[in-house]
Structure 1
Amino acid sequence: MDFLYGQETLSTIEWILRAIIAYFFLLAVAKLLGQRSISQLRLIDFAITLVIGNIIAHPLSDEKLGLEGSIITTIVLVVLYLSGIFMILKFPSLRRLINSSPITIVQNGEILYNGLKKARLSIDVLLEELREEKVDNVKKVALATWEPNGKFSVFLKSEYEPVTHSSLQIKTEPFYYPKIIIKEGKVNFSELKVLNKDEGWVISKLQSLYQTDIRNVLLATLDNKDNLKVFLYK
Protein backbone atom coordinates (compact mmCIF):
# COMPACT_ATOMS: atom_id res chain seq x y z
CA MET A 1 0.00 0.00 0.00
CA ASP A 2 3.03 2.29 -0.31
CA PHE A 3 1.57 3.79 -3.51
CA LEU A 4 -0.98 5.65 -1.36
CA TYR A 5 1.81 7.86 -0.01
CA GLY A 6 4.12 10.31 -1.74
CA GLN A 7 6.86 8.61 -3.77
CA GLU A 8 9.76 9.72 -5.91
CA THR A 9 8.49 7.47 -8.67
CA LEU A 10 5.55 5.14 -9.18
CA SER A 11 5.41 2.08 -11.38
CA THR A 12 2.69 1.63 -13.98
CA ILE A 13 0.84 -0.81 -11.73
CA GLU A 14 1.00 1.63 -8.81
CA TRP A 15 -0.43 4.44 -10.98
CA ILE A 16 -3.26 2.11 -12.05
CA LEU A 17 -3.99 1.05 -8.46
CA ARG A 18 -4.00 4.68 -7.30
CA ALA A 19 -6.45 5.60 -10.07
CA ILE A 20 -8.72 2.63 -9.29
CA ILE A 21 -8.86 3.50 -5.58
CA ALA A 22 -9.55 7.18 -6.35
CA TYR A 23 -12.28 6.22 -8.82
CA PHE A 24 -14.21 3.99 -6.42
CA PHE A 25 -13.63 6.43 -3.56
CA LEU A 26 -15.20 9.23 -5.64
CA LEU A 27 -18.14 6.97 -6.50
CA ALA A 28 -18.66 6.34 -2.78
CA VAL A 29 -18.43 10.06 -2.06
CA ALA A 30 -20.94 10.87 -4.83
CA LYS A 31 -23.32 8.26 -3.42
CA LEU A 32 -22.95 9.74 0.06
CA LEU A 33 -23.49 13.30 -1.15
CA GLY A 34 -26.67 12.22 -2.89
CA GLN A 35 -28.43 13.19 -6.09
CA ARG A 36 -28.93 16.76 -4.91
CA SER A 37 -25.27 17.66 -5.33
CA ILE A 38 -25.28 16.28 -8.89
CA SER A 39 -28.57 17.54 -10.31
CA GLN A 40 -28.91 20.86 -8.45
CA LEU A 41 -25.62 22.68 -8.19
CA ARG A 42 -26.40 25.43 -5.70
CA LEU A 43 -23.64 27.47 -4.10
CA ILE A 44 -22.67 24.95 -1.41
CA ASP A 45 -22.97 22.03 -3.85
CA PHE A 46 -20.83 23.70 -6.50
CA ALA A 47 -18.14 24.58 -3.96
CA ILE A 48 -17.84 21.05 -2.54
CA THR A 49 -17.87 19.43 -6.00
CA LEU A 50 -15.16 21.73 -7.30
CA VAL A 51 -12.91 21.35 -4.24
CA ILE A 52 -13.20 17.55 -4.02
CA GLY A 53 -12.46 17.19 -7.72
CA ASN A 54 -9.25 19.19 -7.36
CA ILE A 55 -8.14 17.39 -4.20
CA ILE A 56 -8.48 13.93 -5.75
CA ALA A 57 -7.05 14.97 -9.14
CA HIS A 58 -3.66 16.16 -7.86
CA PRO A 59 -2.35 12.82 -6.49
CA LEU A 60 -3.38 11.16 -9.76
CA SER A 61 -0.94 13.33 -11.72
CA ASP A 62 1.90 13.84 -9.22
CA GLU A 63 3.63 10.82 -7.67
CA LYS A 64 5.12 12.98 -4.89
CA LEU A 65 1.66 13.68 -3.49
CA GLY A 66 0.16 10.92 -1.38
CA LEU A 67 -3.39 9.70 -1.96
CA GLU A 68 -3.99 9.10 1.75
CA GLY A 69 -3.99 12.81 2.58
CA SER A 70 -6.46 13.56 -0.21
CA ILE A 71 -8.82 10.84 1.02
CA ILE A 72 -8.73 12.14 4.60
CA THR A 73 -9.29 15.73 3.42
CA THR A 74 -12.21 14.64 1.25
CA ILE A 75 -13.84 12.76 4.14
CA VAL A 76 -13.57 15.87 6.34
CA LEU A 77 -15.11 18.01 3.57
CA VAL A 78 -17.96 15.54 3.08
CA VAL A 79 -18.71 15.64 6.83
CA LEU A 80 -18.68 19.45 6.72
CA TYR A 81 -20.92 19.41 3.64
CA LEU A 82 -23.50 17.08 5.20
CA SER A 83 -23.39 19.14 8.40
CA GLY A 84 -23.99 22.26 6.32
CA ILE A 85 -26.99 20.67 4.60
CA PHE A 86 -28.41 19.70 8.01
CA MET A 87 -27.92 23.25 9.30
CA ILE A 88 -29.60 24.70 6.21
CA LEU A 89 -32.63 22.45 6.73
CA LYS A 90 -32.70 23.20 10.46
CA PHE A 91 -32.31 26.98 10.34
CA PRO A 92 -34.24 28.88 7.61
CA SER A 93 -32.24 32.08 8.24
CA LEU A 94 -29.02 30.25 7.34
CA ARG A 95 -30.74 28.82 4.29
CA ARG A 96 -31.56 32.31 3.03
CA LEU A 97 -27.96 33.36 3.59
CA ILE A 98 -26.48 30.52 1.51
CA ASN A 99 -29.19 29.91 -1.08
CA SER A 100 -30.09 32.85 -3.29
CA SER A 101 -33.72 33.73 -3.97
CA PRO A 102 -35.23 33.19 -7.45
CA ILE A 103 -34.83 36.18 -9.76
CA THR A 104 -37.86 37.31 -11.77
CA ILE A 105 -36.91 37.77 -15.43
CA VAL A 106 -40.32 38.07 -17.13
CA GLN A 107 -43.58 39.18 -15.54
CA ASN A 108 -46.94 39.53 -17.29
CA GLY A 109 -45.31 39.39 -20.71
CA GLU A 110 -42.73 42.09 -19.94
CA ILE A 111 -38.97 41.54 -19.69
CA LEU A 112 -37.50 42.95 -16.48
CA TYR A 113 -34.12 44.41 -17.37
CA ASN A 114 -33.06 44.69 -13.72
CA GLY A 115 -33.76 40.99 -13.33
CA LEU A 116 -31.61 40.21 -16.37
CA LYS A 117 -28.74 42.24 -14.94
CA LYS A 118 -29.04 40.64 -11.51
CA ALA A 119 -29.03 37.13 -13.03
CA ARG A 120 -26.25 38.14 -15.45
CA LEU A 121 -28.26 36.91 -18.43
CA SER A 122 -28.38 38.29 -21.95
CA ILE A 123 -31.47 38.55 -24.13
CA ASP A 124 -30.09 35.71 -26.26
CA VAL A 125 -29.89 33.39 -23.24
CA LEU A 126 -33.42 34.36 -22.17
CA LEU A 127 -34.80 33.59 -25.64
CA GLU A 128 -32.87 30.31 -25.73
CA GLU A 129 -34.36 29.26 -22.39
CA LEU A 130 -37.86 30.15 -23.59
CA ARG A 131 -37.35 28.13 -26.78
CA GLU A 132 -36.36 25.12 -24.68
CA GLU A 133 -39.69 25.53 -22.88
CA LYS A 134 -41.47 25.63 -26.29
CA VAL A 135 -42.39 29.31 -25.82
CA ASP A 136 -42.29 31.32 -29.07
CA ASN A 137 -43.40 34.70 -27.69
CA VAL A 138 -42.39 36.47 -24.48
CA LYS A 139 -45.84 38.09 -24.35
CA LYS A 140 -47.32 34.66 -23.59
CA VAL A 141 -45.33 34.37 -20.36
CA ALA A 142 -47.02 35.20 -17.06
CA LEU A 143 -43.90 34.59 -15.00
CA ALA A 144 -40.35 33.43 -15.71
CA THR A 145 -37.75 33.12 -12.96
CA TRP A 146 -34.07 32.22 -12.81
CA GLU A 147 -33.73 29.65 -10.01
CA PRO A 148 -30.74 29.42 -7.62
CA ASN A 149 -29.76 26.07 -9.18
CA GLY A 150 -29.40 27.66 -12.62
CA LYS A 151 -32.67 26.35 -14.03
CA PHE A 152 -35.34 28.44 -15.72
CA SER A 153 -38.97 28.25 -14.54
CA VAL A 154 -41.67 29.42 -16.94
CA PHE A 155 -45.41 29.85 -16.32
CA LEU A 156 -47.64 30.77 -19.26
CA LYS A 157 -50.64 33.05 -19.11
CA SER A 158 -53.83 31.05 -18.60
CA GLU A 159 -55.08 31.66 -22.14
CA TYR A 160 -51.91 30.06 -23.54
CA GLU A 161 -51.84 27.04 -21.24
CA PRO A 162 -52.31 23.68 -23.02
CA VAL A 163 -55.81 22.24 -22.85
CA THR A 164 -56.04 19.40 -20.33
CA HIS A 165 -58.66 16.80 -19.51
CA SER A 166 -59.41 18.53 -16.22
CA SER A 167 -60.01 21.89 -17.91
CA LEU A 168 -62.52 20.17 -20.23
CA GLN A 169 -63.94 18.18 -17.29
CA ILE A 170 -63.22 14.88 -19.02
CA LYS A 171 -62.96 11.88 -16.73
CA THR A 172 -59.69 9.98 -17.06
CA GLU A 173 -58.42 6.65 -15.82
CA PRO A 174 -55.70 6.42 -13.14
CA PHE A 175 -52.15 6.43 -14.47
CA TYR A 176 -50.47 3.05 -14.72
CA TYR A 177 -46.84 2.66 -15.73
CA PRO A 178 -46.33 -0.46 -17.91
CA LYS A 179 -44.11 -3.17 -16.45
CA ILE A 180 -40.98 -4.25 -18.30
CA ILE A 181 -41.32 -8.00 -18.81
CA ILE A 182 -38.51 -8.52 -21.37
CA LYS A 183 -35.32 -6.52 -21.71
CA GLU A 184 -32.52 -7.35 -24.15
CA GLY A 185 -33.81 -10.86 -24.77
CA LYS A 186 -34.22 -11.79 -21.09
CA VAL A 187 -37.48 -12.31 -19.22
CA ASN A 188 -38.13 -10.35 -16.03
CA PHE A 189 -39.73 -13.11 -13.98
CA SER A 190 -40.33 -10.93 -10.91
CA GLU A 191 -42.51 -8.53 -12.91
CA LEU A 192 -44.35 -11.43 -14.55
CA LYS A 193 -45.16 -12.78 -11.11
CA VAL A 194 -46.63 -9.42 -10.06
CA LEU A 195 -48.78 -9.44 -13.21
CA ASN A 196 -49.86 -13.06 -12.61
CA LYS A 197 -48.30 -14.20 -15.89
CA ASP A 198 -45.71 -16.83 -16.74
CA GLU A 199 -43.10 -17.40 -19.42
CA GLY A 200 -45.44 -19.66 -21.37
CA TRP A 201 -47.98 -16.84 -21.72
CA VAL A 202 -45.26 -14.51 -22.99
CA ILE A 203 -43.99 -17.05 -25.54
CA SER A 204 -47.53 -17.67 -26.78
CA LYS A 205 -48.22 -13.94 -27.18
CA LEU A 206 -44.97 -13.33 -29.04
CA GLN A 207 -45.68 -16.14 -31.43
CA SER A 208 -49.28 -15.14 -32.15
CA LEU A 209 -48.76 -11.37 -32.40
CA TYR A 210 -45.21 -10.99 -33.71
CA GLN A 211 -44.16 -14.46 -34.94
CA THR A 212 -40.95 -14.25 -32.93
CA ASP A 213 -39.41 -15.54 -29.72
CA ILE A 214 -37.93 -13.98 -26.59
CA ARG A 215 -34.31 -13.73 -27.74
CA ASN A 216 -35.32 -11.38 -30.60
CA VAL A 217 -37.01 -8.89 -28.25
CA LEU A 218 -35.13 -5.73 -27.28
CA LEU A 219 -37.90 -4.49 -24.97
CA ALA A 220 -41.40 -5.65 -24.09
CA THR A 221 -43.85 -3.98 -21.70
CA LEU A 222 -47.23 -5.04 -20.35
CA ASP A 223 -49.86 -2.77 -18.79
CA ASN A 224 -52.74 -3.55 -16.43
CA LYS A 225 -55.05 -4.22 -19.38
CA ASP A 226 -52.73 -6.87 -20.84
CA ASN A 227 -51.65 -4.58 -23.69
CA LEU A 228 -48.30 -5.95 -24.83
CA LYS A 229 -45.85 -3.56 -26.50
CA VAL A 230 -42.86 -5.19 -28.18
CA PHE A 231 -39.71 -3.65 -29.66
CA LEU A 232 -37.61 -6.06 -31.70
CA TYR A 233 -33.91 -5.91 -32.48
CA LYS A 234 -33.45 -4.22 -35.84
Structure 2
Amino acid sequence: MNTIYVNQQIRLMQSTGQSAGGGFSRFLIGEAPPEFLLEIILRAGIMYILLLTVLRLMGKRMGGQLTISELAVMLTLGAIVSLPMQTPDKGILQGLLVLVSMLALQRGFTLAGILSPGTERITQGIEQVLVRDGMLDMEKMKGENITQHQLFAVLRQRGIKHLGEVSRVYIEASGLFSIYKAPKPAPGLSIFPDQERPGQALHQDGNLMVCKACGATAGTPHTYGQSCLNCYNINFEPAIAP
Protein backbone atom coordinates (compact mmCIF):
# COMPACT_ATOMS: atom_id res chain seq x y z
CA MET A 1 0.00 0.00 0.00
CA ASN A 2 2.83 2.37 0.86
CA THR A 3 4.54 1.60 -2.46
CA ILE A 4 1.35 2.36 -4.39
CA TYR A 5 0.86 5.61 -2.49
CA VAL A 6 4.47 6.70 -3.15
CA ASN A 7 4.14 5.95 -6.87
CA GLN A 8 0.94 7.99 -7.04
CA GLN A 9 2.66 10.92 -5.34
CA ILE A 10 5.62 10.70 -7.75
CA ARG A 11 3.31 10.74 -10.78
CA LEU A 12 1.38 13.67 -9.31
CA MET A 13 4.60 15.63 -8.75
CA GLN A 14 5.81 14.84 -12.27
CA SER A 15 2.52 15.95 -13.83
CA THR A 16 2.52 19.09 -11.70
CA GLY A 17 6.05 19.94 -12.79
CA GLN A 18 5.24 19.38 -16.43
CA SER A 19 2.12 21.52 -16.10
CA ALA A 20 4.07 24.31 -14.45
CA GLY A 21 6.82 24.17 -17.08
CA GLY A 22 4.45 24.00 -20.07
CA GLY A 23 1.70 26.19 -18.65
CA PHE A 24 2.84 29.38 -20.39
CA SER A 25 3.24 27.57 -23.71
CA ARG A 26 -0.24 26.06 -23.43
CA PHE A 27 -1.59 29.50 -22.48
CA LEU A 28 -0.27 30.93 -25.75
CA ILE A 29 -0.77 28.19 -28.33
CA GLY A 30 -2.81 25.55 -26.49
CA GLU A 31 -2.08 21.91 -27.14
CA ALA A 32 -1.70 22.26 -30.90
CA PRO A 33 1.77 22.14 -32.53
CA PRO A 34 3.30 25.47 -33.62
CA GLU A 35 2.80 24.49 -37.30
CA PHE A 36 -0.93 24.75 -36.70
CA LEU A 37 -0.60 28.55 -36.55
CA LEU A 38 0.11 28.64 -40.29
CA GLU A 39 -2.95 26.49 -40.89
CA ILE A 40 -5.03 28.98 -38.92
CA ILE A 41 -4.11 31.76 -41.35
CA LEU A 42 -5.21 29.59 -44.28
CA ARG A 43 -8.43 28.58 -42.51
CA ALA A 44 -9.25 32.19 -41.67
CA GLY A 45 -8.75 33.29 -45.28
CA ILE A 46 -10.90 30.46 -46.67
CA MET A 47 -13.73 31.03 -44.17
CA TYR A 48 -13.66 34.79 -44.82
CA ILE A 49 -14.04 34.29 -48.57
CA LEU A 50 -16.78 31.69 -48.08
CA LEU A 51 -18.67 33.95 -45.68
CA LEU A 52 -18.30 36.89 -48.06
CA THR A 53 -19.70 34.79 -50.91
CA VAL A 54 -22.68 33.60 -48.86
CA LEU A 55 -23.55 37.15 -47.78
CA ARG A 56 -23.38 38.35 -51.38
CA LEU A 57 -25.76 35.58 -52.43
CA MET A 58 -28.18 36.40 -49.60
CA GLY A 59 -28.70 39.94 -50.91
CA LYS A 60 -27.73 43.48 -50.02
CA ARG A 61 -30.38 43.92 -47.35
CA MET A 62 -28.37 41.58 -45.11
CA GLY A 63 -25.74 44.27 -44.89
CA GLY A 64 -27.83 47.25 -43.84
CA GLN A 65 -25.54 50.24 -43.45
CA LEU A 66 -22.41 48.06 -43.38
CA THR A 67 -20.67 46.87 -46.50
CA ILE A 68 -20.69 43.15 -47.18
CA SER A 69 -17.02 42.75 -46.29
CA GLU A 70 -17.45 44.72 -43.04
CA LEU A 71 -20.39 42.54 -42.04
CA ALA A 72 -18.37 39.42 -42.85
CA VAL A 73 -15.59 40.67 -40.58
CA MET A 74 -18.00 41.42 -37.73
CA LEU A 75 -19.61 37.97 -37.90
CA THR A 76 -16.22 36.31 -38.06
CA LEU A 77 -14.90 38.28 -35.09
CA GLY A 78 -17.82 37.07 -32.99
CA ALA A 79 -16.89 33.47 -33.72
CA ILE A 80 -13.17 34.10 -33.22
CA VAL A 81 -13.23 35.45 -29.69
CA SER A 82 -15.41 32.71 -28.19
CA LEU A 83 -13.13 29.67 -28.59
CA PRO A 84 -9.88 31.06 -27.11
CA MET A 85 -11.79 32.29 -24.05
CA GLN A 86 -13.80 29.12 -23.40
CA THR A 87 -11.86 26.13 -24.79
CA PRO A 88 -8.93 24.96 -22.62
CA ASP A 89 -6.96 23.40 -25.48
CA LYS A 90 -7.08 26.57 -27.59
CA GLY A 91 -4.46 29.23 -26.89
CA ILE A 92 -5.21 32.93 -27.10
CA LEU A 93 -2.43 33.39 -29.62
CA GLN A 94 -4.46 31.49 -32.20
CA GLY A 95 -7.44 33.78 -31.71
CA LEU A 96 -5.20 36.83 -31.88
CA LEU A 97 -3.66 35.55 -35.09
CA VAL A 98 -7.10 35.13 -36.67
CA LEU A 99 -8.10 38.62 -35.55
CA VAL A 100 -5.00 40.08 -37.18
CA SER A 101 -5.68 38.01 -40.30
CA MET A 102 -9.22 39.43 -40.51
CA LEU A 103 -7.88 42.96 -40.13
CA ALA A 104 -5.32 42.36 -42.87
CA LEU A 105 -7.95 40.86 -45.20
CA GLN A 106 -10.35 43.76 -44.63
CA ARG A 107 -7.62 46.34 -45.21
CA GLY A 108 -6.47 44.40 -48.26
CA PHE A 109 -9.96 44.32 -49.80
CA THR A 110 -10.39 48.04 -49.09
CA LEU A 111 -7.06 48.89 -50.71
CA ALA A 112 -7.85 46.64 -53.68
CA GLY A 113 -11.17 48.44 -54.12
CA ILE A 114 -9.39 51.81 -54.15
CA LEU A 115 -6.82 50.66 -56.69
CA SER A 116 -9.25 48.65 -58.82
CA PRO A 117 -12.97 49.57 -59.04
CA GLY A 118 -13.58 46.18 -60.61
CA THR A 119 -12.48 44.45 -57.41
CA GLU A 120 -14.89 46.54 -55.36
CA ARG A 121 -17.75 45.66 -57.70
CA ILE A 122 -16.98 41.95 -57.27
CA THR A 123 -16.73 42.02 -53.47
CA GLN A 124 -19.36 44.66 -52.63
CA GLY A 125 -21.72 44.63 -55.61
CA ILE A 126 -23.17 47.66 -57.38
CA GLU A 127 -26.32 49.72 -57.11
CA GLN A 128 -29.40 48.61 -59.00
CA VAL A 129 -32.46 50.51 -60.25
CA LEU A 130 -35.64 49.02 -58.79
CA VAL A 131 -38.13 51.67 -59.97
CA ARG A 132 -37.84 53.63 -63.18
CA ASP A 133 -40.40 56.33 -64.03
CA GLY A 134 -43.13 54.84 -61.87
CA MET A 135 -42.64 51.23 -62.98
CA LEU A 136 -41.03 48.36 -61.07
CA ASP A 137 -38.14 46.48 -62.63
CA MET A 138 -39.25 42.95 -61.78
CA GLU A 139 -36.01 41.28 -62.90
CA LYS A 140 -33.83 43.57 -60.77
CA MET A 141 -36.10 43.09 -57.76
CA LYS A 142 -35.93 39.33 -58.17
CA GLY A 143 -32.15 39.45 -58.47
CA GLU A 144 -31.87 41.53 -55.28
CA ASN A 145 -34.40 39.41 -53.32
CA ILE A 146 -36.68 42.42 -52.81
CA THR A 147 -40.45 41.88 -52.77
CA GLN A 148 -43.07 44.39 -53.75
CA HIS A 149 -44.28 44.60 -50.13
CA GLN A 150 -40.78 45.38 -48.86
CA LEU A 151 -40.25 48.11 -51.44
CA PHE A 152 -43.68 49.65 -50.88
CA ALA A 153 -43.02 49.77 -47.12
CA VAL A 154 -39.90 51.85 -47.78
CA LEU A 155 -41.82 54.19 -50.11
CA ARG A 156 -44.63 54.68 -47.58
CA GLN A 157 -42.05 55.79 -45.02
CA ARG A 158 -41.15 58.59 -47.41
CA GLY A 159 -44.78 59.73 -47.66
CA ILE A 160 -45.29 58.38 -51.19
CA LYS A 161 -48.81 57.24 -52.09
CA HIS A 162 -48.39 55.75 -55.55
CA LEU A 163 -45.65 54.84 -58.02
CA GLY A 164 -46.47 57.77 -60.27
CA GLU A 165 -44.74 60.00 -57.72
CA VAL A 166 -41.44 58.13 -58.12
CA SER A 167 -38.77 58.80 -60.73
CA ARG A 168 -36.06 56.42 -59.50
CA VAL A 169 -35.47 54.02 -56.62
CA TYR A 170 -31.95 52.61 -56.25
CA ILE A 171 -30.77 49.90 -53.91
CA GLU A 172 -27.20 50.79 -53.06
CA ALA A 173 -24.35 48.34 -52.57
CA SER A 174 -24.77 48.81 -48.80
CA GLY A 175 -28.43 47.73 -48.98
CA LEU A 176 -29.86 51.20 -48.40
CA PHE A 177 -32.53 52.70 -50.67
CA SER A 178 -32.13 56.00 -52.53
CA ILE A 179 -35.46 57.47 -53.64
CA TYR A 180 -35.98 60.31 -56.14
CA LYS A 181 -39.45 61.73 -56.62
CA ALA A 182 -40.72 62.66 -60.05
CA PRO A 183 -40.71 66.43 -60.78
CA LYS A 184 -44.18 66.04 -62.30
CA PRO A 185 -46.13 63.08 -60.84
CA ALA A 186 -48.08 60.87 -63.24
CA PRO A 187 -50.90 58.37 -62.62
CA GLY A 188 -49.56 55.23 -60.97
CA LEU A 189 -50.09 52.11 -58.90
CA SER A 190 -51.18 52.61 -55.31
CA ILE A 191 -48.60 51.43 -52.77
CA PHE A 192 -51.12 51.07 -49.94
CA PRO A 193 -52.07 47.56 -48.79
CA ASP A 194 -55.19 46.12 -50.44
CA GLN A 195 -57.25 46.47 -47.26
CA GLU A 196 -56.21 50.14 -46.96
CA ARG A 197 -57.23 51.39 -50.39
CA PRO A 198 -60.56 53.11 -49.83
CA GLY A 199 -61.82 55.04 -52.83
CA GLN A 200 -62.31 58.21 -50.83
CA ALA A 201 -58.67 58.26 -49.63
CA LEU A 202 -57.07 58.22 -53.10
CA HIS A 203 -58.55 59.67 -56.25
CA GLN A 204 -58.61 57.00 -58.94
CA ASP A 205 -58.09 57.77 -62.59
CA GLY A 206 -60.86 55.72 -64.15
CA ASN A 207 -59.51 56.24 -67.66
CA LEU A 208 -56.24 54.47 -67.00
CA MET A 209 -55.47 50.97 -65.70
CA VAL A 210 -52.14 49.87 -64.20
CA CYS A 211 -50.60 46.45 -63.65
CA LYS A 212 -50.83 45.39 -60.00
CA ALA A 213 -47.47 43.62 -60.25
CA CYS A 214 -45.16 46.20 -61.83
CA GLY A 215 -47.21 49.39 -62.18
CA ALA A 216 -47.05 49.57 -65.99
CA THR A 217 -50.00 51.31 -67.63
CA ALA A 218 -52.42 49.26 -69.76
CA GLY A 219 -53.91 52.10 -71.73
CA THR A 220 -57.56 52.68 -72.56
CA PRO A 221 -59.72 50.80 -73.15
CA HIS A 222 -58.52 47.86 -71.06
CA THR A 223 -59.76 44.39 -72.04
CA TYR A 224 -60.40 41.81 -69.34
CA GLY A 225 -57.70 39.12 -69.44
CA GLN A 226 -55.25 41.41 -71.22
CA SER A 227 -51.68 40.73 -70.04
CA CYS A 228 -49.13 43.35 -69.03
CA LEU A 229 -46.62 44.05 -71.77
CA ASN A 230 -43.87 44.48 -69.17
CA CYS A 231 -44.32 41.50 -66.79
CA TYR A 232 -47.18 39.55 -68.45
CA ASN A 233 -49.36 39.79 -65.33
CA ILE A 234 -53.13 39.84 -65.98
CA ASN A 235 -54.26 41.66 -62.82
CA PHE A 236 -54.97 45.37 -63.25
CA GLU A 237 -56.58 48.13 -61.24
CA PRO A 238 -57.43 51.80 -61.83
CA ALA A 239 -54.45 54.10 -61.61
CA ILE A 240 -54.20 56.72 -58.88
CA ALA A 241 -54.35 60.22 -60.25
CA PRO A 242 -51.41 62.56 -59.50
Q: TM-score, with normalisation over the residues of structure 1?
A: 0.50
Bigger CA radius of gyration = 2
Which structure ranks higher in relative contact order (CA pairs < 8 Å, sequence separation ≥ 6)?
Answer: 2
